[in-house]
Amino acid sequence: MFIGENLANLRIMHGYSRKQLSEMLNITEQAVWQYENGYTSPKMQIVNELKQIFNVKNKYFYTKDMLSKYTQTNNINIMNIAYRSKVLNTISKTQAEAKHIEYLDIFVNDITSNISIPTLKIIKLRDNVIDYLNHTKEDRLTKIEHVAHLARNVLELSEENNDDLIFSIEKSGVFVFEKAIGEEIDAYSLWTLKNRPFIILGNIKKSAVRRNFDIAHELGHLLLHYHLEFANLDRKEHKIIENEANVFAGAFLLPQDKFIRDIKNLKHLTNPDSYLDLKKKWKTSLQVLGYRAAQLGMINSKDHRNFYASLHRKGYLENEPFDKLIPMQKPMKIKTIIDLVSKKGIVNISEMIEDEWKVNIAFFHYMTGIDSSFFSKYIKKIDTKVLQLSKSI
């Protein structure tokens, strides 16, 4: 029997409305509604089209999917998604991302269920931050500066650079993935109600320094705005919260004492080109370097305006020097875990994809942002073993 809920889950995760899906299938919107609600079952021709659209097996639609089997009720709160975006996002977009996190959460559970994971630093850090914010009477900017300093220490980031930024954040317990989110959203983050933190980074090509700011910004949301209902914020409140995450990102990426020491060695503080060596060192943009210098009082507001005007004249607001030379950091944690459980025989990746999840490799690429070739090597490895066994027989 066709399970309509499976179709609804796939449709929502991919961000399609029923009308959009109906147009892709050349059927009525009502027909899609009927399939999803169990009133009618689609003909095999429609099922074949659906499997092509969503990169799943035919049998995906006739047995409970992974969400139906394992999702814990209300583990993902749609209200808690924190976007790095200049615009407030639509409900449909937020529903799609929440559904995507549901799939990822089940996947992480699936791949880590039989391995021991140490107590997460990020949870201890978050709890310390909450306690500090609730019991300190300092002004908000001072609090954010302190939290950024605390985070950098707990995550054991180098005092001299940000070379291991994503590695350190993933090591602390955050699960970082990439996804084609769209041009208006750079990244987003979320705590599940079971205390698993996710950061989703947009995969639209951008510079490494912008990527670094995105991840630091989202770390700021995870620590400063735990379980805040972002979806209920008005535009003014949204702007305030985004600014707090920006301030955190600057303070986190450019630790105060070390950065002040670096700035004191510069001769022309209003000339962006004077900051190029610091850009290579800290792997942050010239805009962020200038903003941080002004925030710390190393340049006054007039000089900062001149600095920004110079950025504009030189065309650096669009493309900065060294943008193409600084390597972009990529999430590696989940790939490392997959390699581990596969090599130790804990999880058969081929069976997990094809028999348990009942999907194609392209589905896993869409869900995790990891190149299909990474998963393909496990399928090929299994096929090679089967071929060698058949020859020996």
The C-alpha atoms of residue 279 and residue 274 are separated, in whole angstroms, by 10
What pLDDT digit, counting tens, does each position of 31-40 carry? 999 999 999 9
- Residue (of 206, 201, 190, 128) closest to 166 by Cα position: 201
In the chain, which residues have pLDDT < 70?
A: 71-73, 84-92, 119, 205, 380-393
Specify the amino acid at residue 156.
E
The C-alpha atoms of residue 273 and residue 316 are separated, in whole angstroms, by 10
pLDDT of residue 383: 44
Asked if residue 253 lies in contact with residue 284, where contact means CB atoms within 8 angstroms, the answer is: yes
pLDDT of residue 380: 58
pTM (2 d.p.) = 0.91
Take residue 190 and report the two structure tokens written for it.
């979320």
Asked if residue 130 lies in contact with residue 119, where contact means CB atoms within 8 angstroms, the answer is: no
pLDDT of residue 73: 60
Take residue 229 and report the two structure tokens written for it.
């209902």
CATH level 2 (architecture), domain 121-313 = Orthogonal Bundle (1.10)
**Neighbour count for residue 215 (Cβ, 10 Å):** 27
**Neighbour count for residue 182 (Cβ, 10 Å):** 13
pLDDT of residue 390: 39
Helix or strand or coil: residue 197? strand
pLDDT of residue 388: 47
Given the structure tokens 């509604």, which residue do they identify?
Answer: 33
The C-alpha atoms of residue 17 and residue 20 are separated, in whole angstroms, by 5
Indicate the fold that domain 1-64 takes in CATH: 434 Repressor (Amino-terminal Domain) (1.10.260)
Dihedral pair phi/psi, residue 85, rounded to 5°: -155, 150
The C-alpha atoms of residue 360 and residue 350 are separated, in whole angstroms, by 10
The C-alpha atoms of residue 207 and residue 337 are separated, in whole angstroms, by 27
- Host H or E run for residue 301: helix 301-313
